[in-house]
């Protein structure tokens, strides 16, 4: 867990349990359920702790059912925790709901907070009234966001006539009109094409840097996580399996490296280095793989540069999404929690 200094969000030993009825199936079972029914407790979020500093951009990820949405609902004040404590920008969300709402903005990629049949501008005006944003602040904020996201041609268009990419730009504006200190994003680029995704990512980076808005991103698109988030929290069956930088995730879980070498045309020699495997070779290109526990990247590169006439060299880093898939596929997430916590600052 990160340090509490300068924390805008603090979560301590947070849990949320749901009671689920174990009903019997069939006609006879349904009759028996009227008189006798057993219940089990599902731990959607199970004793988690973390803190997030002002201005952080954090990816909050996990498989379906891991507890991501439940956590976000507690942070936004929608759900009451079973146990534990939450403080968001100085407020306990489920107690100080109105004040908490003024401090946060929320964007759901699959749902809009705009009014479906109203023009975009009228939706913005309604949100100004709901959040009680002073006229001057609203005007200044609206003009900045409208210009940055190029909303001019969209303002008089009913929301239902917007494309998905256009609606997402309007939803981002709606979430930021009251200048929240924290922005929660749930699948903000889902369904968007490559150009629209890139546009949204650049905008979010700008908001995070220039406004110092703290952003918490939940998504299954690991390209979003890698492009935007400096820190990642992985949830597994309601528990935190990893909390650290995206780069540290690669160091902790991926020991294998791949290097692509392009040699000059007149260099026809072979590459033979102990503990380094040649996995592919063409006329003047070689692909090497090795385990960093056996030999370091620096040692491999140094030896190649000494012995061969190198034209170009590239070290291929693993993608965050592939690492997380491997963690879950190998069932390591829960078992590695203690080890990882010891290595975190």
User: Is the domain of 99 the same as that of 227?
Assistant: yes
Is it the case that residue 211 has pLDDT exceeding 80?
Answer: yes
> Which of 11-25, 231-245, 310-324 comes out lowest in average pLDDT?
310-324
For residue range 108-119, list pLDDT tens digits in order. Answer: 877 888 999 999
Phi-psi region of 106 (alpha: psi -120 to 50; beta: other; left: phi over 0): beta
Q: DSSP string covering 175-200, please?
A: HHTT--SEEEEESTTTT--HHHHHHH
Give domain status of residue 144, yes or no: yes
User: Is the domain of 64 the same as that of 137?
Assistant: yes
- Give 18's strand partners: 42
Q: For the chain, what is the domain count?
A: 2
Give domain status of residue 163, yes or no: yes
Give domain status of residue 18, yes or no: no
User: Is the domain of 181 the same as that of 289?
Assistant: no
The CB-based long-range contact list for 293-298 (8 Å cut-off, 24+ gap) reads 293/255, 297/257, 297/259
Q: Indicate the pairing of strand 57-62 with strand 231-236.
A: parallel
Q: Across residues 93-104, what is the average pLDDT?
A: 94
Q: Across residues 36-63, what is the average pLDDT?
A: 90
Is it the case that residue 336 has pLDDT exceeding 60?
Answer: no
For residue 95, the domain's CATH number is: 3.40.50.300
For residue 281, the domain's CATH number is: 3.30.70
Q: Across residues 324-338, what is the average pLDDT?
A: 57
Domain boundary among 250, 274, 292: 250
User: Is the domain of 60 the same as that of 178?
Assistant: yes
DSSP 25: P
Residue 124 backbone dihedrals phi, psi, to 5 degrees? -60, -40
pLDDT at 304: 86
Q: Are 269 and 308 in contact (CB under 8 A)?
A: yes
Most confident by average pLDDT, 44-48, 188-192, 250-254, 285-289? 44-48
Is it the case that residue 322 has pLDDT exceeding 80?
Answer: no
Q: Give the chain's radius of gyration (CA, Å).
A: 25
């Amino acid at each position: 867990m990160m340090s509490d200094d300068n924390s805008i969000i603090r979560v301590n030993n947070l849990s949320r349990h749901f009671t689920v009825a174990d009903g019997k199936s069939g006609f006879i079972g349904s009759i028996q359920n009227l008189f006798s029914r057993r219940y089990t407790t599902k731990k959607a979020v199970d004793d988690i702790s973390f803190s997030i500093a002002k201005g952080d951009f954090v990816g909050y990820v996990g498989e379906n059912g891991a507890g991501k949405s439940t956590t976000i609902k507690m942070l936004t004040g929608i759900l009451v925790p079973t146990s534990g404590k939450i403080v968001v920008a100085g407020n306990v969300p489920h107690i100080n709901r109105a004040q908490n709402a003024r401090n946060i903005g929320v964007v759901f990629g699959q749902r809009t907070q705009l009014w479906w049949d109203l023009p975009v501008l009228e939706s913005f005006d309604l949100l100004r009234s709901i959040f009680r944003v002073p006229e001057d602040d609203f005007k200044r904020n609206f003009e900045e966001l409208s210009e940055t996201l190029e909303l001019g041609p969209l303002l008089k268009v009913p929301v239902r006539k917007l494309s998905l990419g256009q609606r997402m730009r309007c939803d981002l504006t709606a979430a930021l009109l009251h200048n929240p200190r924290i922005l929660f994003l749930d699948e903000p680029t889902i369904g968007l094409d490559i150009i629209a995704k890139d546009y949204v990512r650049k905008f979010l980076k700008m908001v995070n840097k220039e406004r110092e808005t703290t952003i918490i991103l939940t998504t299954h698109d690991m390209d979003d996580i890698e492009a935007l988030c400096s820190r990642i929290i992985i949830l597994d069956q309601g528990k935190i399996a990893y909390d650290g930088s995206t780069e540290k995730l690669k160091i902790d879980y991926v020991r294998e490296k791949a290097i692509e070498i392009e040699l000059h045309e007149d260099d026809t020699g072979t590459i033979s280095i102990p503990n380094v495997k040649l996995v592919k070779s063409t006329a003047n290109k070689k692909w090497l793989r090795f385990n960093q526990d056996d030999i370091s990247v620096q040692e491999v590169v140094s030896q190649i540069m000494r012995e061969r006439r190198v034209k170009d060299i590239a070290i291929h880093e693993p993608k965050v999404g592939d690492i997380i898939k491997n963690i879950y596929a190998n069932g390591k997430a829960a078992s590695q929690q203690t080890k990882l916590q010891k290595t975190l600052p």
